[in-house]
Amino acid sequence: MPLHDFRSVHLPYCLTRQAGGKYVVLNREYKPIGFKTEDRVDYDKYPVAVKIKGLTAKVVAKVSCKKGANLEKIYLYDDGCIPTKSAKNMQAYLERLEVLAKLRFG
């Protein structure tokens, strides 16, 4: 997928859990937010992993576009609900972000 727009590079696509329970917030290319590269990124080399308090299965079910409680990889949108494709998709995405935005780092 080309890194051709703001959304694909700078907006959260998913959160992936790392060893120790920390999460890395990734863009559409599975790179940390803001990384515009096709090269493999070793998350451990950058201070991008965070412990998120309150990220329970119940919360994950609210923020996942897949309507599941998979704590390992939490998708905020997918190809069926790309936020920039429609106002409805954007509204749903922003509602998921609103839930995440209220959580604190641990």
- For the chain, the domains span 6-101
pLDDT at res. 2: 60
> What pLDDT, in 10s, does the model give residues 2-38?
667 899 999 999 999 999 999 999 999 999 999 998 8
Query: 66-102, pLDDT tens digit by residue?
Result: 977 899 999 999 999 999 999 999 999 999 999 999 9
Per-residue pLDDT averaged across 37-58, rounded?
Answer: 94
Instruction: Please name the residue that has the structure tokens 């309507």.
Output: 67
Residue 69 identity (one-letter amino acid): A
- From CA 84, how far away is CA 22, in angstroms rounded? 28
pLDDT of residue 11: 96
Q: How far is CA 30 from CA 5, 91, 104, in A?
A: 15, 23, 23
Cα–Cα distance measured from residue 23 to residue 55, given in angstroms and rounded to the nearest whole number? 10
Question: Residue 1 above 70 pLDDT?
Answer: no
Q: What is the mean pLDDT of residues 60-65?
A: 96
